Every structure is written in C-alpha cells, then in structure tokens.
Structure 1
Amino acid sequence: MTPTETQTPSTEDDKTYLDEIPDEVEMSLFDHLEELRMRIFYSLIAVVVGVIGCFIVVKPLVQLLQVPAQGVKFLQLAPGEFFFVSIKVAGYSGIVLASPFILYQIIQFVLPGLTRRERGLLGPVVLGSSVLFFAGLAFAYIALIPAALKFFISYGADVVEQSWSIDRYFEFVLLLLFSTGIAFQIPVIQLILGYLNIVSSAQMLAGWRYVVLGGVILGAILTPSTDPLTQSLLAGAVLGLYFGGIGAVKLSGH
C-alpha cells in the first residue's frame, strides 16, 4: 500500500468529522420560531435596560461626544431638542452596551445548526468583529470627527460665528461613529469568505484596482460630511483594513 493510499482515508475521515453537526437535535419549524421569538425578546430586554442605564448618565456621555468640537457653542433651536438628543445618545449607547448579550443570543440560536468546521470559525469571527467595531468607534472619535470639525470650523471662521444646532451635531457624530464601526468589519468578511473557500487571498489581491475605487466611493458614502480630508481618512482606513484582511486570509492558508 502506497503512502498516498494510507493517508487518503484519514483525510476523508477528518473532512467528514469537520462537516458533522455535533449534538444535532431535530426541531420543528414551530420550535425554531418559538426559540427565535425568545431570543429576540431577551435581546430587546437587554437593549431597554442598556438604554435606561445610559439615559441615567446621559449628560456625561453628551459632554464626552462634545469634546471634539471645542470652542463651538451649541444651541437648542426648538423646545425639547436637547431631550430628544439625550434619548438618541442613550439609544445608540444602550445598543452598544447590550451588543455582547445580543451577540450571545444570536450565537445560541445558530449554534445547533453549525458544523464543527463552522463552529471553529465562530470564535475568531465574533472576537475579531467586536474588536474591530470598537476600534472603528475609537478611530472615528480620535481622527475622523476632529478632522471634519476642524475643516468646517476653519473654513468659515472669518465669516460666521460657530453656533451649531445640538441635534444636527449629534446626527453627524453618531452617524460617523457607527458607519466607521461597520466599515471596520471588512477583514472579518474577508476571513469568512476565505475560510469557506468562496474567494481566495490571490483573488482578493487581483482586484485591488476595483477595491481602491470602491474604497473611495465607500468613504464618500459613509462620511456624512463633504470635506475631502474626512473622506480620504476613512477611505485610507478601509483600504488598509482590506489589504490587512488579505494578509490575514493568506496566513490562514486560503
């Protein structure tokens, strides 16, 4: 018997083992819907608790988000405007605070239907996605928002007094924060595609011209401001993440 013949059954057995669903339990469609309803209900409770908790301490959160706009005077242009801004900030913050629990509920719902191979991918994807999302929030807060605000303040400093609507300001800040956090998920998507053998690292690298164009367009779409500096910073970050993702896929052997 040749070495190749002795290795083939072992390789096939390993592949079969990885493609098995451990502890598979038969569930009816009604049972699946009932479990989905329960997971959604628990997630909504977590969001409500998170929003209430953040609303209690919303003023420090608002002050933290106002830091990048130092020297700007904020105005309440309508009755209750700051109150609704507080609800908006508490809502976004509550969702972020509850996101680990929501992620846990999603994992518990899909886990019974995953093979051993897919379960091996679950941990790195969840950890990487969480880290990159918060890295995106930090990048937007430290780099993108100050750059955009500096551009707008300096552009009209000698013509108009800088007094901004607090509602419009927080629309700008919150949108930029969360769009950047979502844009930072690109390497995770690449790893999933590479691990499932849908797209290889070589194929990802071969289309770099289209990626550069797409990164510029994505930076323009996700950036609520129209200044070229902020769009360039976000586009550069997206491209850096994409090529970093290619390296990660390459290291994983795909």
Structure 2
Amino acid sequence: MTPPSELESIPQQDPPKLYDPADYESNDDPDYDPYLDEIPDEVEMSLFDHLEELRIRLFYAIAAIAVGFVGCFVFVKPLVRLLEIPARGVTFLQLSPGEYFFVTVKVAGYSGLILASPFVLYQILQFVLPGLTRRERRIIGPIVFGSAFLFLLGLGFAYIALIPAALQFFTNYGAGVVDQMWSIERYFEFVLLLLFSTGIAFQIPVIQLLLGTLGIVSSQKMLSGWRYIILGAAILGAILTPSTDPLTQCLLGGAVVGLYFGGIGLVKVFGR
C-alpha cells in the first residue's frame, strides 16, 4: 500500500473540461446552444440508405418536371404567343415539316422545368439539409431561394429589356431593304438561349455571397478587382448574348456589373 506521503507527491491532473456554453458566443435566446450549430441533425445512414433516399428524391423531381412539361404542352400555344410579343411586325414561317411541333416541345420543356423548379429545389433541400449543421443550413437556405429568385429576375429582365432591344436593332437595320419574315425555330432558339443565359448571369451575387460567407474572398478584395470585372462583364455580355448587336451586349454587361456591386454590398452586410 502506498504511504500517504507518496500519494501527496503525485501530481494531480485537472479533470477533463466539459462543454461550457460560456465559451461560445452569447445569444439572447435562453434555449440557444451554440455547440449544436456544429452537429448535424441526421443520424448516420449507410451508403445504401443514402442511395435509396437519392433515388426517391430524383423520382419525385423527374415526376414533377414531367407533370410540368405535360401541363405546359397542353397550353403551349398561349406560351408561344407570349414569346412572340417582343417581335412585333414580324411574320413567322415554318420552313420544314414538323418545325413548329419541335418548337412547341422546346417551349413546353423549358417552361415545365421552370414551373417545377420550386418542387425540385424542395427535393434537393430535403436530401441535403438533414446532413448539415444548423450554421450550414442558415447559409444554404437563403442562398438556394435567392438563386431561384435571381434566376426568375434574369428571365424577366431578358424578356422586358434584352429581347426587345435586340429585335428592334435587327428590325431597324433591315428596314426598307428586306421583309421581316423569320424562321420560327431560329427565333425561338434565339429567345430561349437569351432567356436562360441571362438567368444564369444573374447568379453572380449568389456566388459572391457564398464565397464571402465561407471566408474565401472578402468584400474589400472583391471591390479591389472592379476593373477586371468591367472587362469580364463586357466579355460575358458578348458570349452570353446570341445576337451580335452592341446594345444587347451593353445591357447585359451593365446588368452584370450592377449585380456584382450589389453582391459586394450583400457580402458587406453579412460582415465579410
């Protein structure tokens, strides 16, 4: 048996430090526990369970897109007329058998995808969110819905501003020389491409907010590269616009610059 004198000489180790909420940021909510922000809510699942969950979510998403396509195909003629409105005074021609049919399939497909996109986003979130921490969920939720809003805003900007400007340029350029009779397939390829390329370009603030929130790039760093952004916006406007007229390219390039500086403001608001 060890004598008491020897026991007193043995260094006493500090007990392991337990989680103390005072070590973390304070919050006004008495039920707030910052430690839980770093813990996923989901119980660990096997690879097979993840694949099964993914299969179910994909099935629901594809089914929603299919339903949206069928619904839009039933009412495709009003959609076609809506997209023909910017081309006032133009006669559309079907230059080959089935050309109009394939145009309606494209229009119904794109419209069905847009119509089903909220449900598709919901399925994506249902698959991803359970495995994320609370802090990550607070980031990804606004980013996903902000991305959807900006995409729709881009579609509206293209329909109201870009498409009429481009068509007006081409119509005036050939006025008095050629009759304005266009292939309906070529016209809708032009319109659909411009719509969706503008929607993609409007995702710039979302990318900036994601980079700023993750601490990859600060708002000050983004602001310091404004000269390169103006050059990049001009190049992006030339690439994304299917037309070659300078007015449409300048409109899209100006929108990109405005979105970029707006994204800097958002990153600044979030303290980055």
TM-score where L is the length of structure 2: 0.87
Q: Distance in 2 between matches of 1:38 and 1:71?
A: 48
For residues 205-233 of structure 1, give each alpha carbon's deviation from its aligned partner in whole angstroms, at most 9, with x where no partner exists: 11111111111111111101111110110
Match of 2:184 in 1: 166
| 1:152 counterpart = 2:166 | no
Instruction: Compute the displacement of 1:8 (Å).
Output: 7.2
The 5 A counterparts of 1:94-173 are 94-173=112-191
Point out where structure 2 has 5 or more consecutive residues left out of the alignment: 1-19, 27-31
Secondary structure class of the residue paired with 1:226: coil
Q: Which amino acid letter does the alignment assign opposite residue 126 of structure 1?
A: V
Secondary structure class of the residue paired with 1:74: strand
Matched-pair contact (CA < 8 Å) for 2:155–2:195: yes
Computing the radius of gyration from Cα coordinates, the structure with the larger value is 2
Match of 2:6 in 1: none
For residues 187-210 of structure 1, give each alpha carbon's deviation from its aligned partner in whole angstroms, at most 9, with x where no partner exists: 111111111111110111111111
Q: 2:233 aligns with which of 215, 219, 222?
A: 215
The 5 A counterparts of 1:233-244 are 233-244=251-262
Q: Which amino acid letter does the alignment assign opposite residue 216 of structure 1?
A: A
The 5 A counterparts of 1:60-99 are 60-99=78-117
Matched-pair contact (CA < 8 Å) for 2:147–2:203: yes
Q: Distance in 2 between matches of 1:146 and 1:131?
A: 22
Alignment length, in residue pairs?
A: 248
Q: Which amino acid letter does the alignment assign opposite residue 17 of structure 1?
A: L
Q: Which amino acid letter does the alignment assign opposite residue 105 of structure 1?
A: Q
Q: Distance in 2 between matches of 1:7 and 1:89?
A: 55
Q: 1:186 aligns with which of 196, 204, 221?
A: 204
Q: Which amino acid letter does the alignment assign opposite residue 120 of structure 1?
A: R
Match of 2:24 in 1: 10
| 1:19 counterpart = 2:33 | no
Match of 2:9 in 1: none
Q: 1:33 aligns with which of 51, 70, 85?
A: 51
Q: Which amino acid letter does the alignment assign opposite residue 230 of structure 2?
A: V
Match of 1:196 in 2: 214
Q: 1:150 to 1:24 in 2, by over 3 A?
A: same
For residues 6-61 of structure 1, give each alpha carbon's deviation from its aligned partner in whole angstroms, at most 9, with x where no partner exists: 9971339976432221x221111121112111111111110010000000000000
Q: Distance in 2 between matches of 1:126 and 1:217?
A: 27
Instruction: Compute the displacement of 1:115 (Å).
Output: 1.2
Q: Which amino acid letter does the alignment assign opposite residue 166 of structure 2?
A: A
Q: Distance in 1 between matches of 2:234 and 2:36?
A: 43
TM-score where L is the length of structure 1: 0.93
Q: Distance in 1 between matches of 2:69 and 2:228?
A: 40
Secondary structure class of the residue paired with 1:197: coil
Q: Which amino acid letter does the alignment assign opposite residue 92 of structure 2?
A: F
